[in-house]
Structure 1
Amino acid sequence: MTTENENSRPVPPKNRGYETERLSYLLRQQEILAAFGTFALQTHSMEELLQEATRASAEGLRCDHAKALEYLPSEEQFIVRAGVGWKEGIVGHARIAADLESPAGYAFKTGKPVISNHLEQERRFRTPRLLMEHGIRRAINVLIALDEDRFGVLGVDSPEGERFTEADAAFLKGFANLLNLAIGRHLTEARLKEALRHQEVLNDEISHRVKNSLAIVASLLRMQRLAAVDPGLQNALSDAQRRVETIANVHDRLWRSRDERTVDLAEFLNGLCEQFCAEGLDAKTLKCDAVPVTVVTEQAVTIGLLTNELITNALKYAYPNGTGDISLSLARSEQPTYLRIMVCDHGVGLPRDMDTGAPTSLGMKLISRLARELGGRPEWQNAQPGTRFVLDFPARELR
């Protein structure tokens, strides 16, 4: 971060009696605080935030050394998270005691700013080795706290220069307050990201268990079908097994999309058709032509179940004596905000005595019910030859 007039550093007035010099010094500090506040709102990096805090606070007090210390509860020490003016290898590694006998520890424990203008003569505290190694003679430390949680300490140090004053402590405290708000925002964002990651793990576990449960149900139905003697019961159990597997496939594809609210229907329906092709079509071909449209997940589930039922029926009954084509299409309807789904074959067609308005078979009843759930009225047409299923329904797109 750079500030306006970057090379002009605040110079403490040599004679505090001259109010004009003192006012200029304080105004420069306010400019630095304002610039840091803007930077803190824009950055998304904790490291950059702490590093800029040490640089700017050192500039504000016209010193060459500053450090941001983070408290490590497990070690009962501080780690130097950011800093300026220190030898290589200090930032990110060096530790400082966090007890009441160190200036930073006292500021951390009591919450009071600590000014030490003569460390070599200091009797209240011991001088940390880090400061002695750099010839530091005066230091000022203030608490960085997030409500009840204490993050650490912001300190400015110097081997020479004028005494730190209460006004300097007030400046550094104001700096720490801005830092408190910025760190709090960063930690909140980090916790939200962690909560989202945890939620994803839970969703994965739930989806895995649902998939396994459906697979067990399908397996039980298969075992019952193999044990059954009556052909009608075998067919009924086979249909039930297929429908459970359909639900499992729809669930699996929706889960893999990683979008809990919406589904791209073109991608979704193409995937379902690929699944049919992978399982074998017995010399029949399946084509899919779907426009890109996104609908809410609840509606996509119903569309998936309906599509599976229609394609399965066409594969079973349209071409009993040979090969043939089956097509699935999804397009925008002539009615605004409506979609049209069609499944068409060129096979033997529907039985002449079949009343599509009052279906009797379980498959046709299921198709009729799913169509009503989508808000449309199913229409069975003679494709000459074959059968065409048409359904116009309102798209439930996320708004």
Structure 2
Amino acid sequence: MRENEEKKQNRDEPKGALRRLAEIQSIAETTLSNLSLDHFLNNLVGRVQQIFMADTVAILLLDEESRTLAVRAAYGLEEEVDRVRIPVGQGVAGRIFSERRSLIIDDLSKVEVASPILREKGVRSLLGAPLRVQDHLMGVIHVGCFRPRRFGEEERRLLELIAEQVGLATEHARLYEAEWHSRASAQAAERRYRALVDGLDHSIVWEADAAANRFFFVSSRAEMILGYPVEQWLTEPRFWEARLHPADRENVLKEFQKLVSEGKDRRFDHRMIAADGRAVWFHTGMSLSGVTDTGTFIHGISMDITPLKQVEEETRAREAQQGAVAALGQRALEGTDVATLMNQAVALVARCLEVEYTKILELLPDGKRLLLRAGVGWKEDSVGRATVDTRPDSQAGYTLLSKTPVITEDLRKEKRFTGAALLDAHQVVSGMTVLIQGRDRPFGVLGAHTIKRRAFKEEDIHFLQGVANVLTNAIERKQIEETLRQKTTEAEEANRLKSRLVSIVSHELRTPLNAIIGYSSLLKDPRFQKDPAKLKEMQERIYENSRTLLELINRILDVSKIEAGQRELSLELEPVSVSDAARRAVSNLNPMGDQKGLSMEFIDDASAPTIQSDPAKLKQILTNLISNAIKYTEQGSVAVRIRHQPEEKKVCVEVSDTGRGIAEEDLPHLFEPYYHVVATESAPHKGTGLGLSIVKRLVEALGGTVDVASQVGSGSIFTVRLPYQIPKKEDSSSQKE
């Protein structure tokens, strides 16, 4: 909570500072009206206490004769007024005076030279500054707090500005007192006053005749702040009006009119154009000196508040950037698709950073190039087509390599990398890039570029990184959603196939079982026991159906073992002739083809060498493919051809048939476990749908591949490609590396 309060205090600081300066300006202006010094100082400490929300305020003035600092006015230390005197160089106040600089003390209990009075009062933290005009020191002002407090640099600068004004006001009041006591010293006091106002570092003191619209006194600081000679201020007609910023001119002239017509002091902020073209911010306070027959006389002080305005503007810009990132994040949470979110992101970066070019580069699957996926400012045909190399000699590639934000103020002088062709073609000079993370690897790079040299600030890179973080979260969420959707689809498909399997298997199991049960019952019938021919036929039918049932059960077990990874552990490798294995398989299945009147062909390739493989698994693969071809071919032929591919170091087996063929929509799923081609009246189911999934797993276990080409009505061709040697599988440690 305390951190949040400090952040809020930091955001409000520039606005508060301007309000404080306005109050101090009004105090300084009152010194132009002949006030006594004590009246002025007592009024001042109350104002300073409100400005800093302090528990104590003290103004100590130098006694030249005794070289001591006496408390002249105080808040929270009133009893010390005119009683305490601190030798120069002693205590906190004496240290500030002797060192001639402001001082921040976070904890007085740790400072040896701290004043006992401050400790007795319970002051823990203190901020102090010397009172001086030019090199003339006249005292010290300090504010204190009973609780620990860290005074910031902005507060230090503010107190220094106040001390400067107080020094001027104090000296001015003294001059008035001196003039009151001795009219003879009036001219000397006037010269000293002029010297004092000329010594103000950040303010221009001026006097003007509003009726004649001309200045008749301007302090010399005017030339240092704005660059125009004082003589030009005094002699050029309507000098002030001509140098006012066009956007502020009308308002400033109205303030002058109100001052003259109402007679009340006016305070306002405005800009003036300096001699070098800069816009300089001022806080101006002015009072009406008098109206005579000869003119309408005004005097005022214009304080340079450009640094504070810059802080205020930067604060507003940061708040706008933070709000923009939050809004983008909200849109991402609401489900905006990634492509739209990317386009919104690059437009947001271009607007908030006021840059000509923004980009999102997506790392392509090959890892060698980045594609310009979204952007602002690029040539019309660049987005979606332009690519950047991922090598570290480009800013984007360097960002991928370093995995940290990268800023370049001038690509022409950059030594870490060169400008990519995309940047060169658009005359980019400055830029910054950050990484967009992904789940398993970086998604890409987010960048902002300008055609003029620009020094990007730390706040800019924080903003760009914030946008990249929103994109990272959106992309990861999209990837997770896609993965979940895919897994859900796969699970649903697996359940569907298993349900179909249960239906198919139950039917396939029931058919041979019913036959076995039926023929077994007939064996008990006395009529058949006396007929040897009938008895033998029933025994053969029981045997055939038992073999069919065993084959079905073995296939189901094979699929379960392969899916569990057990098959990979039982390979028995030895030199095998694929030609011999295929020839034997054709010979063994010839009777099956003869029963259907099919022509069985074997075409060898004498150049095919022996390979290192598992003969039992190879036999199962060939038997499955050839028996399938016979099963689904009603007329024509089944052919087995050996092809040697020496350039790939492989031996191929092609099993072709003239059967009914396979529909195009079934081909991608043909080797999936439990998948079964949809049956028709003309082509009913003839199997379990497990044989081809077993073939695929076995072929892969042997280091090979299997594919199919088919056309309905024209038959099918299954091709198995087996390597000379089965590749060795990497162990887990090498895979991790």
TM-score normalised per structure 2:
0.28
- Distance in 2 of aligned mates of 1:27 and 1:44: 24
Find out whether 1:40 has 2:332 as its counterpart: yes
- Distance in 1 of aligned mates of 2:431 and 2:336: 29
Amino acid at match of 1:48: T
Where do 1:120-139 residues align within 5 Å? Answer: 120-139=412-431
**Secondary structure in 2 matching 1:123:** coil
- Give the corresponding residue for 1:208: 500
- Give the corresponding residue for 1:66: 358
Find out whether 1:223 has 2:515 as its counterpart: yes
Deviations 1:150-199 (CA, angstroms, capped at 9, x unpaired): 22111112223643222211211122122222222111111111111221
Residue pair 1:100, 1:106 contacting (<8 A) in 2 also: yes
Q: CA RMSD in A?
A: 2.7
Question: 1:203 Cα deviation (Å)?
Answer: 2.0
Amino acid at match of 1:159: I
- Distance in 1 of aligned mates of 2:504 and 2:440: 46
Residue pair 1:70, 1:153 contacting (<8 A) in 2 also: yes
Question: 1:59 Cα deviation (Å)?
Answer: 1.6
- Distance in 2 of aligned mates of 1:76 and 1:204: 41
- Give the corresponding residue for 2:457: 165
Find out whether 1:26 has 2:321 as its counterpart: no
- Distance in 2 of aligned mates of 1:95 and 1:197: 34
- Distance in 1 of aligned mates of 2:385 and 2:503: 48
- Give the corresponding residue for 2:406: 114
Question: 1:89 Cα deviation (Å)?
Answer: 2.9
- Distance in 2 of aligned mates of 1:135 and 1:148: 34
Which of these residues, 158, 181, 191, is aligned with residue 473 of structure 2? 181
- Give the corresponding residue for 1:149: 441
- Distance in 1 of aligned mates of 2:506 and 2:395: 64
Find out whether 1:197 has 2:472 as its counterpart: no
Aligned length: 220
- Give the corresponding residue for 1:284: none
Higher RCO (CA-CA < 8 Å; seq separation 6+):
1
Find out whether 1:83 has 2:396 as its counterpart: no
Residue pair 1:79, 1:93 contacting (<8 A) in 2 also: yes
Residue pair 1:63, 1:157 contacting (<8 A) in 2 also: yes
Question: 1:129 Cα deviation (Å)?
Answer: 0.6
Amino acid at match of 2:494: L
Question: 1:44 Cα deviation (Å)?
Answer: 4.2
- Give the corresponding residue for 1:388: none
Question: 1:21 Cα deviation (Å)?
Answer: 1.6
Deviations 1:98-127 (CA, angstroms, capped at 9, x unpaired): 122111111121121111121233222111
Deviations 1:75-106 (CA, angstroms, capped at 9, x unpaired): 42211222222223322222111122111111
Where do 1:349-364 residues align within 5 Å? Answer: none
Deviations 1:303-338 (CA, angstroms, capped at 9, x unpaired): xxxxxxxxxxxxxxxxxxxxxxxxxxxxxxxxxxxx
Deviations 1:202-242 (CA, angstroms, capped at 9, x unpaired): 2233223222201102322453476454999xxxxxxxxxx
Residue pair 2:439, 2:476 contacting (<8 A) in 1 also: no
**Secondary structure in 2 matching 1:149:** coil
Where do 1:272-311 residues align within 5 Å? Answer: none
**Secondary structure in 1 matching 2:489:** helix
- Distance in 2 of aligned mates of 1:210 and 1:230: 31
Residue pair 2:342, 2:374 contacting (<8 A) in 1 also: yes
Residue pair 1:68, 1:153 contacting (<8 A) in 2 also: yes
Question: 1:42 Cα deviation (Å)?
Answer: 1.2
- Distance in 1 of aligned mates of 2:511 and 2:440: 56
Question: 1:45 Cα deviation (Å)?
Answer: 1.4
Percent identity among equivalent residues? 31
Find out whether 1:103 has 2:395 as its counterpart: yes
Larger Rg: 2
**Secondary structure in 1 matching 2:418:** coil
- Give the corresponding residue for 1:53: 345
Amino acid at match of 1:184: E
Deviations 1:130-150 (CA, angstroms, capped at 9, x unpaired): 111122222110011247632
- Give the corresponding residue for 2:385: 93
- Give the corresponding residue for 1:300: none
Q: 1:157 to 1:14 in 2, by over 3 A?
A: farther
- Distance in 2 of aligned mates of 1:19 and 1:60: 17
Q: 1:204 to 1:166 in 2, by over 3 A?
A: same
Q: 1:107 to 1:75 in 2, by over 3 A?
A: closer
Residue pair 2:412, 2:429 contacting (<8 A) in 1 also: yes
- Distance in 2 of aligned mates of 1:210 and 1:224: 21
TM-score normalised per structure 1:
0.50
Amino acid at match of 2:442: R
Residue pair 1:57, 1:172 contacting (<8 A) in 2 also: yes
Amino acid at match of 1:117: E
Amino acid at match of 2:426: H
Where do 1:246-257 residues align within 5 Å? Answer: none
- Distance in 1 of aligned mates of 2:471 and 2:373: 14
Residue pair 2:395, 2:433 contacting (<8 A) in 1 also: yes
Residue pair 1:43, 1:49 contacting (<8 A) in 2 also: no
- Distance in 2 of aligned mates of 1:220 and 1:206: 21
Where do 1:378-393 residues align within 5 Å? Answer: none
- Distance in 1 of aligned mates of 2:385 and 2:345: 18
- Distance in 1 of aligned mates of 2:465 and 2:409: 17
- Distance in 2 of aligned mates of 1:49 and 1:14: 38
Residue pair 2:355, 2:449 contacting (<8 A) in 1 also: yes
- Distance in 1 of aligned mates of 2:352 and 2:439: 25
Amino acid at match of 1:91: V
- Distance in 1 of aligned mates of 2:327 and 2:362: 23
Q: Which runs of 5+ in 1 are unaligned?
A: 1-12, 233-399
Amino acid at match of 2:329: G
Residue pair 1:68, 1:80 contacting (<8 A) in 2 also: yes
Residue pair 2:430, 2:449 contacting (<8 A) in 1 also: yes
- Distance in 2 of aligned mates of 1:108 and 1:79: 14
